[in-house]
Amino acid sequence: MAQHGQFSDQVPLLSIIVPVYNDWAMLDACLQSLTHETGIPFEVIIVDDGSKEAAPEYIRRWTECYPLTIVQQDHAGISAARNQGIRRSKGQVLVFVDADCRVQVNCLAALASTVANSLEHSFFQLHLVGDCSGAIGRAEELRLMTLQHYLLQPNGCIRYLNTAGFAVRRVKLGAAEGLFDPAASRAEDTLLLADLIAQRGELPLFVSQATVQHAIPLSLIGCLRKDIRSAYAEGRTYDIIGSKGVRIRMTNRERFGILWSTWKASRQDSIGRLAWFVLVLRQLLQRIISLIYWLLRGRTKSRGRTKSAREARL
pLDDT tens string 22-42: 999 999 999 999 999 878 999
> How is the chain split into domains, by residue range?
14-313
Q: What is the DSSP letter of 99?
A: T
Q: What is the CATH topology of the domain spanning 14-313?
A: Spore Coat Polysaccharide Biosynthesis Protein SpsA; Chain A (3.90.550)
Average pLDDT, stretch 235-244? 82
Nearest to 31 by CA among 22, 43, 40: 43
The whole-number average pLDDT for the span 162-167 is 96
The per-residue b/e assignment along 91-106, b for 16 or more CB within 10 angstroms, e otherwise, is bbbbbbbbbbbbbbeb
Q: Which amino acid is at 59?
A: I
The pLDDT value recorded for residue 287 is 82
Reply yes or no on whether the pLDDT at 312 is more than 60.
no
Per-residue model confidence (pLDDT) at position 303? 52
| Model confidence pLDDT, tens digit, residues 93-109 | 999 999 999 999 999 99
Q: What does the buried/exposed string (b/e) look like for 296-314 if buried means 16 or more CB atoms within 10 Å of the residue's CB? A: eeeeeeeeeeeeeeeeeee
* 123 pLDDT more than 60: yes
In single-letter form, the type of residue at position 49 comes to: D
Residue 276: in which H helix or E strand, if any?
helix 273-313
